Structure 1
Amino acid sequence: MTKIDFHILASHQDIERLQYVARLVMKAQARGHDILIACASAEQSKAVSQALWAARADAFLAHTEIDQAAHSLQLSHTDDCGTHHDILINLCEQVPSYFSRFIRVFEVVSQQPDLLESSRARYRYYQDRGYELNRHDLRQRMPQ
């Protein structure tokens, strides 16, 4: 069964959320994982892409869109998840229909009121269906 982790950030800033996603990607790639980032829109996908290219001064996180050649790190703003099944980073306000095919799902929770409410709804959705949920509350670790 899919394991789901909620990473609760202290910030309400989009850029800090995307920087955190880039750090998650670096950590997962270092461990040999394939990753799909589910975006809510083409605009968000573009912002994520820019954050991945700028993640580190001495390197970058190479990636493609889901409709391009297969790659270990891809972005999607559609219902297409390609052949991915390892790690899903969900940035959508709803639960992607394909989430259960993944071994692990990361939900990155921002303190923006609308995004926070949709995160709570996704948490309840997974909980009601019996999925293993883990909370990583970073609000105590990060300056406000």
Structure 2
Amino acid sequence: MTKVDFHILPAFHERDRLNYVTRLIRKAQSQSLDILISVEDDEHRQMTSEAIWAASPDSFIAHETIGSNFHPVQISIDEDCGEHHQVLINLRKETPSFFSRFERVFEVVSQETEILNASRARYRFYKDRGYALAKHDLRDRV
């Protein structure tokens, strides 16, 4: 069964949330896991891609939008999640319908009101269905 981790950030800005996502990507890549990042729309996809490109001048995170080529990190704006079954990083306000195909789901939550409220609804959704939940509250580490 899918394990869901909520990473609760002290940040309010999307830029900070995306910087944290790059840390999650690096950790998953160190374990040779494939990653799909689910985003709201094309603008959000572009912003996410740019954040990944800019993550570190010393290293490169190969990634692409879902397509014919395969990279271990892909970004999707729709229900097409390709062949991935390992790690889903959800940056949408809604729970993607395909989340249960993945071994792990990372929900990255900022303190921006709309994102925070949507994450609470997703938490209840997973909890009501009996999914294993973990909470990593990074607000205590500031």
- The two structures have a TM-score, normalised by structure 1, of 0.97
Between the two proteins, what is the percent identity of the paired residues? 54
Q: What residue is the counterpart of 1:16 in the other structure?
A: 16
Q: Give how far 1:70 is off.
A: 1.6
Q: Paired residue for 1:135?
A: 135
Q: Distance in 1 between matches of 2:59 and 2:71?
A: 17
Counterpart of 2:136 in 1: which secondary structure?
Answer: strand
SS of residue paired to 1:5 = strand
Q: Distance in 2 between matches of 1:45 and 1:141?
A: 29
Q: Which residue does 1:118 correspond to in 2? A: 118
Runs of 4+ off more than 3 Å: none
Asked whether 1:82 is paired with 2:82, we answer yes
Correspondence for 1:27: 27
Instruction: Say whether residues 1:69 and 2:52 are aligned partners.
Output: no
Give 1:68 shift: 3.8
Q: TM-score, normalised by structure 2?
A: 0.98
Deviations 1:72-93 (A, max 9, x none): 1100001100000000000000
Gaps in structure 2 of 5+ consecutive residues? none
Aligned pairs, number: 142
Flag structure 1 segments of 5+ consecutive residues without an equivalent.
Answer: none
2 CA distance for matches of 1:116 and 1:105?
A: 17
RMSD after superposition = 0.7
